[in-house]
Structures are given as structure tokens and as C-alpha cells.
């Protein structure tokens, strides 16, 4: 499991270049695979590819088993005679930032045109796709259809007839009503599987991401409310977040509903097993988001405005991973063991034998034994300069205080910001860590405006896009030379 010295690049699908407002599974994705191969990389790490909703975060999805229809490539639909060029003339022409406003307003209508044409020529494998994925697919389609019926309202304010999931009641909806949502997932699956197969054939493995929580207003909660801590009106009693720390006096109030682990344990964690099974249908390797939450999680009263008065509650610990392994066999997981860690969390990571994560940008607190400094790494880790929640190196360094810059300067002695980036890349690549993942932004020496997400900010996230001319003649060769010098290919 991630035992060889290898390297990869972190770049979300949404950030790929495209002429239609967001990255997709189209030509630019295949070009990026070619770039990775030329650069001697082994891994392409992406963010969750599930649908997004208000706030645009892939970590708060309305359907954790489903794929994001925005990633369906429009030009590929045209190649399959499902669209004509004039059908998607209103698609965003924004190539600088992800244009969620346009996507929300016009993409569904474009995809419905494709669906109308699809009905005239539905391929033979469509029925088998629906049958093979029926449980999660049908729940997703019902949920989305009802969301439309109630003008996007949260499920907890729907008419009681539909608010409370009832299989007999829901039989009134047929494939004619739900077919559009089946189609979206069919096309998503078809295009993604083709891209993944292309990547795997090129020697590139996909590292995916499994968010620990789901959104409250989601197909997951609506269809399986007993799996979550809800009251009789389907309202959360406790919600997820993080306790106060040096960066936030109030902590972080995420608002996701918490799991009913007592019930989950009684049925052998079947919901989590199904979720992990689905994840490994999509990815080669799965990063488990907020891993410490499996040991203990911060439970906040649902009525609170901040996370201050939450409490630590014991999670399922090793039992959940034992159940997953028994059902699915040995799978390649990465434990995102960042944040507030205790000895119990370290013991859980060690017991699972999953590689944990280290982030260089967290290493400059002046302590020589800081576990995020490459000199203190162990082999069984995945090392990062920064993740999607961190600024690229140049933006990170420029935002440091004078004192913090002094710590960095004493350890790294950079002659410039560009030199700092190169030295950190060299440090992490030549470390003993088996796996190294570097954000594309750092190889391009980009600044703060290329940051993907700032966890403490509720707006302005998830918008950055890669310029279409990123592939300079020398970039892939430069990355390949760094990788070869570090014996990672």
C-alpha cells in the first residue's frame, strides 16, 4: 500500500481548463493525463467528484454516491450526437474562474436537450447501468426530482407525504419522471470511466477523496434518516464541526448531521461499506477526510451559532475499518490525520496501517521535532507542501508575520519566493516519505489568488481555474527531472 517511492500532483477536475465555465472530463483532462505521464508522475489526486450545492463545496454534497453532472463534457455529448453546437451556446465562456452562477442557471437546460436526444438512441448498456446501481441511483433521482418539484426547498419542509421517505408512496414516480437523473449519472459514469481507464493505461492512479460527512439536505439523509442523529421531525440534534483553537476562538461550525454510529454498528456498518465500495468504483486510492473523526468527533448542539460548546464523542474507532476490510478486502486508503490529534488518533492510524499525511506549511512553528518537517518524516506517509485547504507557497509565505518568516528563512534560506518554492519541492521530494503530492499551483509558482479553499471563509472558495497554456515546453521536463532525481519513478 503506497510502499514505493512515488510522486503525484493535486489538481481538482473542476480546476481543469475548459471553454464552458468549469473543468470537465473532456480533452483537457486527457491532456493533463498526458502531462502527468510526461512528468513521470504516478498519481493524480483530485477532490470529491460528487454533486455540489449551495456554497459550491464538494465536501457538502446533496448526494454522496452520485457524480457531479457539471463535469460531463459538452463537446463529448456533441460527438455522441446528443447535442449540437448551438444547443450550448449559452454555456459560460469564463475560462478564468469557475462560473457557478452560469452553471446553476443554464447547464441543466443544456443537459435536458441532450437527454431528449438520448431517449431516441439509448444504448444497450443503459439498462444494466441503472439496474447495477439502482439503490443509490433511484434515491438520488427521487431526491433531485422532488427538489425540483418543491423549487429547491430543503427536504425537511416538503409535504409530509414526501418529507418522510416511504417506498410505497414513492412508487408513484416512474422512469419517465426520473429518467433525466438516471441519464446524468450514466453519462457521468461513461465519461469518467473512459478517462480513468486512459489514466490507468498511462500508468497514472487516481487518488480520490471521501468526505467524512454529508450535507443535511441530501439524498443520503433523506433516504436513510435513521443513520443520522435526527429528531422525529428529521431535524439534526447535534451537528459536526471543530473545537476552538489558536486560529478560531469560536471553532468551526460545519453544520453536517452526525452519524448514528450505534445503529450503524448493529448492522455491521453497511452504509459505510456501501459508500466505500462506491468510492473504489471511482478511484484507485481513497483519502479519508477528517480521519480523526472516526476516533472521536466534535458534537455541537444543533441550535448553537458557534462550535464553542461542543463536546468530544467517541467514534466507531477501528471497528468500522475492520468491517470494511472484511467486506471489501484490502483497499488503499490515506488517512487525513490533520488537525487536533491525540495519542488515541495516532494509535488508530497505526492500527489501520493507512499512511497518514504531513504538510510542510504546518512545520514552521520553531520546534525541531515538528512532525511536518521533512527531517522528521517516516516512510509510510503522504507528504504535501500544502493541500487544497492551504495557500500555494508564495501566497502562504507572503501572508506570514515577520517572526514566522524568520523561522522559514532560518531553516530554508531562500533567496526569493520562487527559490523558496523550489527548495520546498526539493525537500519534500528527497524526503523518506513513500508518497509525495504537490499542488499544481506550486509547480507553476502561483500566488494567493490560486488558492482553492480557505476553510474559515464562507465565500470566494472553489473558483480557481488552471490557465489553458499551463503546459510550457519545459514544465513537464522540469518536474520529470525533479522526480527522477528523487528516485520517485
Q: Which of 381, 384, 374, 427 is nearest to 3 (CA)?
A: 381
Instruction: Give the tens place of pLDDT for each residue, 108-139.
Output: 999 999 999 999 988 999 999 999 999 999 99
Average pLDDT, the chain: 96
**Average pLDDT estimate for 202-218:** 98
Instruction: Give the tens place of pLDDT for each residue, 269-284.
Output: 999 999 999 999 999 9
Position 472 scores a pLDDT of 80
Please check the confidence at residue 1 and state whether its pLDDT lies above 70: no
In angstroms, the CA 24 to CA 43 distance is 18
**Average pLDDT estimate for 9-20:** 97
Which neighbouring-strand residues pair with 314? 296
Position 473 scores a pLDDT of 73
Please check the confidence at residue 68 and state whether its pLDDT lies above 70: yes
Q: In which band, very low, low, confident or very high, does the pLDDT at 456 lie, cut at 50, 70 and 90?
A: confident
Position 2 scores a pLDDT of 77
Active site residues: 289, 336, 389
Instruction: Give the tens place of pLDDT for each residue, 312-363.
Output: 999 999 999 999 999 999 999 999 999 899 999 999 999 999 999 999 999 9
**Average pLDDT estimate for 270-299:** 98
Q: In which band, very low, low, confident or very high, does the pLDDT at 55 lie, cut at 50, 70 and 90?
A: confident
Please check the confidence at residue 163 and state whether its pLDDT lies above 80: yes
In angstroms, the CA 253 to CA 298 distance is 10
Go through the domains of the chain in sequence order and give each one's CATH number: 6-215+260-300+316-485 (3.20.20.80)
Position 145 scores a pLDDT of 97
Lowest-pLDDT range, 48-57, 97-106, 377-386, 452-461? Answer: 452-461
Please check the confidence at residue 181 and state whether its pLDDT lies above 90: yes
Please check the confidence at residue 460 and state whether its pLDDT lies above 80: yes
Position 190 scores a pLDDT of 98
**Average pLDDT estimate for 389-411:** 96
Position 245 scores a pLDDT of 82
**Average pLDDT estimate for 294-306:** 97
Position 33 scores a pLDDT of 98
**Average pLDDT estimate for 446-473:** 91
In angstroms, the CA 322 to CA 342 distance is 21
Amino acid at each position: 500500500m503506497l510502499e514505493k517511492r512515488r510522486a503525484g500532483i493535486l489538481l481538482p477536475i473542476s480546476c481543469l481548463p475548459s471553454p464552458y465555465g468549469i473543468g470537465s472530463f473532456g480533452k483537457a483532462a486527457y491532456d493533463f493525463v498526458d502531462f502527468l505521464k510526461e512528468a513521470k508522475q504516478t498519481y493524480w489526486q483530485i477532490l470529491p467528484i460528487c454533486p455540489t450545492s449551495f456554497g459550491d463545496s464538494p465536501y457538502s454534497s446533496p448526494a454522496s454516491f452520485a457524480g457531479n453532472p457539471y463535469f460531463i463534457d459538452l463537446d463529448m455529448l456533441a460527438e455522441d450526437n446528443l447535442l449540437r453546437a448551438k444547443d450550448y451556446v449559452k454555456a459560460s465562456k469564463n475560462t478564468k474562474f469557475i462560473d457557478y452562477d452560469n452553471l446553476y442557471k443554464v447547464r441543466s437546460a443544456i443537459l435536458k436537450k441532450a437527454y431528449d436526444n438520448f431517449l431516441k438512441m439509448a444504448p444497450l448498456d443503459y439498462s444494466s447501468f441503472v439496474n447495477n446501481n439502482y439503490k443509490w441511483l433511484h434515491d438520488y433521482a427521487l431526491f433531485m426530482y422532488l427538489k425540483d418539484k418543491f423549487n429547491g426547498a430543503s427536504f425537511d419542509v416538503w409535504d409530509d407525504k414526501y418529507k418522510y421517505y416511504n417506498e410505497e408512496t414513492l412508487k408513484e414516480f416512474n422512469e419517465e419522471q426520473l429518467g433525466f437523473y438516471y441519464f446524468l449519472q450514466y453519462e457521468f459514469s461513461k465519461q469518467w470511466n473512459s478517462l480513468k481507464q486512459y489514466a490507468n493505461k498511462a500508468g497514472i492512479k487516481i487518488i480520490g477523496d471521501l468526505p467524512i460527512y454529508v450535507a443535511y439536505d441530501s439524498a443520503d439523509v433523506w433516504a436513510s434518516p435513521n443513520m443520522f442523529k435526527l429528531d422525529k421531525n428529521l431535524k439534526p440534534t447535534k451537528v459536526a464541526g471543530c473545537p476552538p483553537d489558536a486560529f478560531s476562538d469560536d471553532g468551526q461550525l460545519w453544520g453536517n448531521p452526525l452519524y448514528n454510529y450505534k445503529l450503524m454498528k448493529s448492522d455491521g456498518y453497511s452504509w459505510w461499506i456501501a459508500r466505500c465500495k462506491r468510492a473504489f468504483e471511482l478511484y484507485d486510492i481513497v483519502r479519508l477526510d477528517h480521519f480523526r473523526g472516526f476516533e472521536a468527533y466534535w458534537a455541537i448542539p444543533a441550535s448553537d451559532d458557534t462550535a464553542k460548546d461542543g463536546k468530544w464523542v467517541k467514534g466507531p474507532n477501528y471497528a468500522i475499518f475492520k468491517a470494511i476490510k472484511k467486506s471489501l478486502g484490502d483497499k488503499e486508503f490515506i488517512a487525513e490525520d490533520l488537525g487536533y490529534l491525540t495519542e488515541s488518533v495516532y494509535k488508530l492510524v497505526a492500527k489501520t496501517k493507512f499512511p497518514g499525511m504531513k504538510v510542510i506549511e504546518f512545520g514552521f512553528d520553531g520546534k525541531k521535532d515538528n512532525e511536518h518537517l521533512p527531517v522528521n518524516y517516516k516512510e509510510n506517509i503522504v507528504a504535501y507542501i500544502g493541500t487544497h485547504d492551504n495557500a500555494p507557497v508564495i501566497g502562504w509565505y507572503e501572508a506570514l508575520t515577520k517572526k514566522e518568516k524568520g523561522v522559514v528563512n532560518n531553516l530554508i534560506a531562500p533567496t526569493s519566493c520562487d527559490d523558496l518554492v523550489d527548495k520546498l519541492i526539493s525537500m519534500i521530494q528527497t524526503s523518506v516519505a513513500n508518497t509525495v503530492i504537490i499542488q499544481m499551483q506550486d509547480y507553476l509558482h502561483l500566488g494567493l489568488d490560486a488558492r482553492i479553499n480557505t476553510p474559515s471563509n464562507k465565500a470566494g472558495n472553489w473558483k480557481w481555474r488552471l490557465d489553458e497554456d499551463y503546459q510550457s515546453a519545459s514544465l513537464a521536463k522540469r518536474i520529470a527531472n525533479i522526480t527522477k532525481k528523487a528516485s520517485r519513478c
